[in-house]
Structure 1
Amino acid sequence: MGVPLGIDTLLTITAAGLIFAWALVLGIWKYRQMATSADHLAHPYVDIAHRAALLYSFATMLLAVFVELSAWPTAVNLTAAAVVVAFFVLAIATYVRHGARRDTTNQFEHVDTTLRIAMAALIIGELGGFAVLFAGFIAGQFF
């Protein structure tokens, strides 16, 4: 057996691996669109979904480090990481939906109340979740 890690860290690393695998699949979709389109470009949201998934997979691995080195209880770390990862996944899924539907090249072109609320929740969730993990890291490593 490898290095003993907490369940919170293991689940966060697993999420990073799943998001990375998703990014690789999205890369195939992007390549297929590039290979078959007249201008050799994928739909903008297919490109965004692929890039976002790649970046979010590495961001999730970074979260796993903060989870592992946090002084907070497992449940706190797991909840904070899960909130951040959930918003990463929801963002990627939104980009995939727009890419599949080809319904827009700018989801902020027609902002409504639902989008405003979703963006506020994303900001609070991602920043808040990370703040909890970062504070746990600081508490665990410096105090």
Structure 2
Amino acid sequence: MNHLPSADHFALVSAGVFLLVGMLSGIWKYRHMMRSETAQAPAYVDICHRTALMYAFACLVLQQLALHSRWSAAVNLAAVAIPILWFATAVFAYAVHGWLQDTDNQLRRPHKLGSMTIPCTLLAVYMTLLIVGEIGGTLVLLLGVL
């Protein structure tokens, strides 16, 4: 029988993963800083590092909301997993931009990803889905607590 993880366990494990990614990307950031004449890392290396650390704590908030939510286990799991998956896509995108060092502002037009140009519509759809997923999942959990 397939056993789905509980929402709070998924959130706690995710917090640990984001914390670890934050720490490892901190090494990446530090190495850039030590080699730079200005002692600075590329913008998206820094953003990837800080965002992963912040999302670790956001996952703990989601965990606590899930623990106290009155919704079903399946609703709570979806409401936790959806924002966390969007958190992960954001950190991944920041890591890619940091690795490629292709921009210091991913929303500046034209939208670049390495040597490619990303259509404005595609980025707008991604950002809209990210916003809806992150806020929607959190709102569902918060309503379950209330």
The reply to whether TM is greater than 0.5 is yes
Question: How many residues are matched?
Answer: 133
Q: What residue identity is the alignment partner of 1:62? A: V
RMSD after superposition: 1.0
**1:119 matched residue in structure 2:** 127
Do residues 92 (structure 1) and 91 (structure 2) align?
yes
Matched with 1:62 is 61
Aligned counterpart, 1:72: 71
Q: 2:128 and 2:6 mapped to 1: Cα distance?
A: 30
1:134 counterpart residue number: 142
User: How does the TM-score come out when normalised to structure 1?
Assistant: 0.90
Structure with the larger strand share: 2
Which 5+ residue runs of structure 1 have no aligned equivalent?
A: 1-5, 139-143
Aligned partners of 2:11 and 2:81: how far apart in 1?
A: 8
Instruction: Describe the SS at the equivalent of 2:38.
Output: coil
In the TM superposition, residue 34 of structure 1 has moved relative to its aligned partner by 0.2
CA contact (8 A) 2:7 2:81 kept: no
Report the TM-score, using the length of structure 2 for normalisation: 0.89
Structure having the higher helix fraction is 1
Deviations 1:27-82 (A, max 9, x none): 00000000011211000000000000010100011100000000001110001110
